[in-house]
């Protein structure tokens, strides 16, 4: 049970829902730089999603961690104007960020639990399944400030 006497699954679902609602309160999110958007995520969304996490961390299952992990790529899909069905692992690669669960474990200094290790193993398997052609697409090869043609973006 959580501090609010909910099950861990319902607590995680509630935190995810509230965090996603908070993302929609950020106006003109697509006009912000990726760096600014990530800072806003860390300041506004992550604390909502991770509420009471240190207290329940060791009791969470890999499935619950996976549910919580979906908050960050959902937010990044809005920032990057990507389709909702874009694979989360691709979103993490495009944005050059760690998974939300890895970030929370590091920032909150949470222990490595069996569920956390299983989550990492599943993520590693998913990342290994990415087609090698993805890494040579313009989104992965164009440097910041250049358009797909390789010229500096002057707009």
The pLDDT of residue 6: 60
What is the C-alpha separation between 115 and 81, in angstroms, rounded? 32
Residue 44 lies in a domain: yes
Task: With respect to residue 123, please indicate whether it lies within any of the assigned structural domains.
Answer: yes
Does residue 155 fall inside a structural domain? no
Tens of pLDDT along 125-149? 999 998 877 777 787 777 654 444 4
| Cα R_g (the chain), whole angstroms | 17
| Domain presence at residue 2 | no
Work out how many domains the chain is built from and give that number.
1
Identify whether 149 is part of a domain. Answer: no
57-112 residue pLDDT tens: 999 999 999 999 999 999 999 999 999 999 999 999 989 999 999 999 999 999 99
Give the per-residue pLDDT at 144.
Answer: 55
Q: Count helices and strands (H / E) in the chain.
A: 10, 0
Spatial contact of 86 and 137, defined as CB atoms under 8 Å apart:
no
Residue 123 has pLDDT above 90, yes or no: yes
Sign of torsion over alpha carbons 30, 31, 34, 40: negative
Residue 152 covered by a domain: no
Q: Does 1 score more than 70 pLDDT? A: no
Structural domain including 97 reads 8-141
């Amino acid at each position: 049970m959580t501090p609010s006497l909910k099950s861990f699954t319902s607590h995680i679902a509630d935190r995810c829902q509230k965090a996603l609602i908070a993302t929609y309160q950020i106006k003109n999110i697509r006009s912000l730089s990726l760096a600014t958007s990530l800072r806003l995520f860390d300041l506004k969304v992550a604390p909502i999603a991770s509420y009471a996490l240190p207290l329940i961390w060791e009791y969470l299952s890999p499935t619950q961690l996976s549910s919580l992990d979906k908050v960050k790529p959902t937010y990044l899909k809005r920032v990057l104007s990507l389709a909702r069905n874009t694979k989360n692992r691709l979103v993490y690669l495009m944005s050059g960020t760690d998974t939300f669960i890895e970030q929370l474990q590091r920032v909150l200094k949470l222990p490595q639990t069996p569920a956390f290790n299983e989550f990492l193993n599943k993520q590693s398997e998913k990342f290994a399944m990415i087609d090698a052609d993805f890494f040579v697409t313009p989104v992965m090869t164009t440097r910041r400030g250049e358009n797909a043609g390789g010229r500096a973006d002057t707009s």
